Amino acid sequence: METVLPKQKTKRKWGRRTLWGVAILLVLAIAAFIAFNLYVARSLPETKGEMTLSGLSQSVEVIRDAHGVPHIRAKSEQDLYIAQGYIQAQDRLFQMDLSRRQASGRLSEVVGEATIEKDKYFRTLGLRRAAEASYNQYSKEGKAVLQAFADGVNLYIEQLQKSGKWPIEFTLLGYEPELWSPVDSLTIGKYMAFDLGGHWEDQAFRQYLLQSFSKDKAYDLFPSYPENAPYVISKEELDIEKSFAKAYIPNQFNGSNNWVVSGEKTESGSALLADDPHLGLATPSIWYQMHLQAPAINVSGVIFAGIPGIILGHNEHIAWGVTNTGPDVQDLYIERRNPENKSEFLYAGKWKKAKIIDEPIRVKDGKTIDYQVTVTRHGPVISEFAGASGKDTVLALRWTALDPSAELEAVLNMNRAENWDEFERALFKFETPAQNFVFAAKDGTIAYKANGKIPIRKKGDSLLPVPGWTKEYEWEGYIPFEELPKTINPKEGFISTANNKVIGDEYPYHISHNWAQPFRQMRIQEYLRTNKKLTVEDMQRLQMDEMNLQAKEFLPQFLHVLSSSASVQEEKALDALQKWNYIDNKDTAAPLIFNLWMQEIGNVLFVEKIPEETLKLFGGRKQAVDQLLRRALNGKAGPWIEEAGGLERVLMNSLQTTLKEIEKMQGDDVAKWSWGDYHQVRFNHPLSSVPPLQYLFNSNGSIPVGGSSVTVKAASYLNDGTVNHGGSWRFIMDLKNMNESYHTVGPGQSGHVKSKWYHDQADDWARGTYHKTVLHNPEGEKLVLKP
């Protein structure tokens, strides 16, 4: 009569079925996971053994060292650059293809409608048109290098066409890359000029200010440089005789640190050189480290994927590094259009016909967009990307990077230079982007030059858009090469740059209104002025230095203004700030409070007054906030602070908002708050924004880091705390031993997700760990490329 046993039997039977079902699903899931991993891994490049490569005249040896750095040794330069193109493609083909597509305005062909606006912008700028025009600026030798490199890339693409073992990114997006051309390399070079130079957005923003606010309020946000802030070249060293709304806006922190120290100040007695260019942090790195050796060349360093040669590094005689000069090399011209003919614009009393260029944009799974670009005598019309400033206005962009140029010739000559004179001659063809070059030689010479084409204007100073219908505002040439700012073996025994003002107002030419906040340069100079004999280890510590001199300047004054607070939580926060040593340590609360507070001060002043899309054009926002605060703290508050209720109210309102936001993120216990819980580097892959691909491509997760945008250890971040900008490559060298140099390339050398060199330097980047690279007798996995 009882039904217990049958029920128990049924339960047991159902339990077995469930277990079997779960087991089967688990086996299938594991099998699928293994199969997927095997499929992804099948495209890993060959790094050992022998391989036949058509086009080579003799065998080429490629040794990848413990960190995946390829050391390429060839018996001719033709073979060397074929091999360089092939090896770069092995590790970075998808990145190379994505880079040329972005710069050419062709992302929508493979991504879809999401990138149409970005493609319109780059088609309008015309970086690829400028690259095509630049090709004929190259010598026969330069063209041969470009072609050899392209041949090497294409040999790898052709191998993939036969094997079908494409990197997984191509499979996910459903396309195969086109063959490589020399113009592709030049287009990527032009993109780097875009990424590193130009301030047309600031001109458009200042025009908006004058259109929308009183003159006093508009001019309150115009750029100025703080008194007593350091220059690169002091007045005493100056010797002229001897010497966007829809726009894709480069990161405003695109700067860098570099310095060089005379042997008189070093333990080894030889010069020390350090460089860490600050660019976007992503997977793969924007830099690719290589060592190239042929009978007449032996050079090591980094290059942008898709370009031949070594742009930064050292050879057996010299070492060099760069930071961004940030000169005003762009002008916006307000053009008058003929109401009866939209393709004509007024100039010197006559209607001049503009070029109308068809730039059809193909869209994946969509219709081709018939897009046209209008190019006046000054440059492309970019009004649609200029926010409120472009409304009912025709704005054309004049920019040095859109002129033909031959930077690769300069790079190749820099690679062969043996002393300062040869290196400086090589710089003659490095026209864009303008860069601060620091240099050291085995013979003891240290030197600096701000190099590139910087325009001389008939009238105007690049603060605002200027009339395009008159000859008054034309460029009348460029600062002569021999008169660009330069110093050799200064008495102080070191030279440093950090995107700060290059030279004082006594210099007869205009360079820029847009300089970085001076705090990194101040800290570097403070460190290098020590009487201690400096070493490589000291240079490593300086590159990782987290001292926040912005906080050291402002925080004591803020605390004085806020002598009393309204809540217990505010008291605790202010107490943490009062006890802070001004180091942006990832494990402490004070950097979190201060850095977010400084950010919120700008929000309090601007967010409700300026449209969001237009505010994005304000590239000098942080510098402007600093200056507003300095004036207010000196009793001269301007209209932005006065209209927000005065300095005390601005500081208190922004602090209260900051504390509320931190409480949402990290709870209400100030003692448990930490900068690193918020401030984390991720090295995101371009496809990781598409769920669930972040789990495939961002395998290293998030890493808490110290530093900030104003520390020597640069670590700028997004609103969610993601560190996305900083020292993309760190390089240090003691010229006592020209065979050795020290590097970090975060997150790693390879762009292949299954490579052991994919994210192996991510933690190194966060901790400040360097690897040694040698010019002679490298060890590692050997691949022989045979003709």
Residue 588 contacts residue 678 (beta carbons within 8 Å) = no
In this structure, what token pair is assigned to residue 1? 């009569």
Residue 440 contacts residue 273 (beta carbons within 8 Å) = yes
Strand, coil or helix: 545: coil
Decide if pLDDT at 102 tops 50. yes
**Cis amide bond preceding 250, omega within 30:** no
Decide if pLDDT at 95 tops 80. yes
Task: Determine which of 69-78, 352-361, 606-615 has the lowest per-residue pLDDT on average.
Answer: 606-615
End-to-end CA separation in angstroms for the chain: 88
DSSP 271: -
> How many Å apart are CA 438 and CA 427, to the nearest integer?
12
The highest-confidence range among 153-162, 222-231, 238-247, 680-689, by mean pLDDT, is: 153-162
Q: Give the pLDDT band (50/70/90) at residue 693.
A: confident
74-96: average pLDDT? 98
> How many Å apart are CA 532 and CA 538, to the nearest integer?
10
> How many Å apart are CA 498 and CA 528, to the nearest integer?
14
Give pLDDT tens digits for 425-451: 999 999 999 999 999 999 999 999 999
Helices (H) and strands (E) in the chain, counts: 24, 31
Number of CB atoms found within 10 A of residue 787's CB: 12
> How many Å apart are CA 439 and CA 421, to the nearest integer?
11
Helix H or strand E encompassing 723? strand 722-727
Output the pLDDT for position 241.
29
> How many Å apart are CA 69 and CA 66, to the nearest integer?
7
Give pLDDT tens digits for 264-287: 999 999 999 999 999 999 999 999
Task: Determine which of 41-45, 60-64, 198-202, 726-730 has the lowest per-residue pLDDT on average.
Answer: 198-202
Mention every residue, 6+ apart, whose C-beta is less than 8 A from residue 270: 263, 442, 444, 734, 735, 736
Residue 715 contacts residue 681 (beta carbons within 8 Å) = yes
Residue 764 contacts residue 746 (beta carbons within 8 Å) = yes
In this structure, what token pair is assigned to residue 426? 């090589």
Residue 489 contacts residue 239 (beta carbons within 8 Å) = no
> How many Å apart are CA 682 and CA 700, to the nearest integer?
8
Output the pLDDT for position 473.
96
| Region of residue 45 (phi > 0: left; psi between -120 and 50: alpha; otherwise: beta) | beta
User: Known binding site: residues?
Assistant: 328, 331
Residues in the chain: 787
CA neighbor of 97 nearest in space, from 88, 310, 303: 88
Mention every residue, 6+ apart, whose C-beta is less than 8 A from residue 342: none
Q: Give the pLDDT band (50/70/90) at residue 26.
A: low
Output the pLDDT for position 688.
87
Residue listed under structure tokens 């409700």: 608
Give pLDDT tens digits for 162-191: 999 999 999 999 999 999 999 999 999 999
Helix H or strand E encompassing 486? strand 486-488
116-125 vs 127-134: helix axis angle to the nearest 10?
A: 40
Give pLDDT tens digits for 517-544: 899 999 999 999 988 899 999 999 999 9
Number of CB atoms found within 10 A of residue 176's CB: 14
643-651: average pLDDT? 96
Query: What backbone torsions phi and psi does residue 287 show, to the nearest 5 degrees?
Result: -100, 150
Q: Which residue has the higher pLDDT, 31 or 769?
A: 769
Output the pLDDT for position 575.
95
Q: What percent of the chain has pLDDT over 90?
A: 80
Output the pLDDT for position 12.
46
Output the pLDDT for position 234.
55
Compute the half-sphere exposure of residue 458: CA atoms within 13 Å on the CB side of its CA. Answer: 10
Q: How would you label 273-302 residue by residue, b for 16+ Cβ within 10 Å and e otherwise?
A: bbbbbbbbbbbbbbbbbbbbbbeebbbbbb
Compute the half-sphere exposure of residue 228: CA atoms within 13 Å on the CB side of its CA. Answer: 2
Single out the catalytic residue among 43, 181, 256, 405. 256
Residue listed under structure tokens 């590790």: 91
> How many Å apart are CA 68 and CA 62, to the nearest integer?
11
Output the pLDDT for position 252.
55
- Where does residue 32 rank: exposed (0-12), middle (13-18), buried (19+ CB within 10 A)? exposed
Output the pLDDT for position 516.
86
Tell me the residue ranges of DSSP E strands in 43-194. Answer: 49-52, 60-64, 70-73
641-667: average pLDDT? 97
Strand, coil or helix: 386: coil
| Mean pLDDT rounded to a whole number for the chain | 91
Mention every residue, 6+ apart, whose C-beta is less than 8 A from residue 287: 277, 302, 303, 304, 728, 729, 745
Output the pLDDT for position 38.
65
In this structure, what token pair is assigned to residue 96? 């190379």
Decide if pLDDT at 406 tops 50. yes
Decide if pLDDT at 23 tops 70. no
113-134: average pLDDT? 97
CA neighbor of 460 nearest in space, from 574, 368, 331: 331
Task: Determine which of 84-98, 143-157, 487-501, 562-576 has the lowest per-residue pLDDT on average.
Answer: 562-576
In this structure, what token pair is assigned to residue 768? 């400040």
39-61: average pLDDT? 93
Residue listed under structure tokens 């290293």: 700
Q: Give the pLDDT band (50/70/90) at residue 81.
A: very high
Mention every residue, 6+ apart, whose C-beta is less than 8 A from residue 718: 724
256 is catalytic: yes
- In this prediction the pTM is 0.92
Residue 435 contacts residue 312 (beta carbons within 8 Å) = no
Decide if pLDDT at 114 tops 80. yes
Output the pLDDT for position 25.
65
Query: What backbone torsions phi and psi does residue 323 show, to the nearest 5 degrees?
Result: -130, 165
> How many Å apart are CA 61 and CA 778, to the nearest integer?
11
Helix H or strand E encompassing 528? helix 519-528
Residue 259 contacts residue 497 (beta carbons within 8 Å) = yes
User: Known binding site for Ca(2+): residues?
Assistant: 328, 331
Taking the CA atoms of the chain, what radius of gyration do you get in angstroms? 28
Decide if pLDDT at 85 tops 50. yes
Q: Which residue has the higher pLDDT, 575 or 532?
A: 575
Instruction: Render 448-475 in DSSP notation, one character per residue.
Output: EEEES--EEESS--SSS-EESSSGGG-E
> How many Å apart are CA 600 and CA 413, to the nearest integer?
47
Q: Give the pLDDT band (50/70/90) at residue 248.
A: low
Q: Give the pLDDT band (50/70/90) at residue 243.
A: very low
Output the pLDDT for position 782.
98
Compute the half-sphere exposure of residue 105: CA atoms within 13 Å on the CB side of its CA. Answer: 25
Residue 326 contacts residue 435 (beta carbons within 8 Å) = no
Decide if pLDDT at 235 tops 60. no
Task: Determine which of 244-258, 386-400, 518-532 has the lowest per-residue pLDDT on average.
Answer: 244-258
Output the pLDDT for position 393.
86
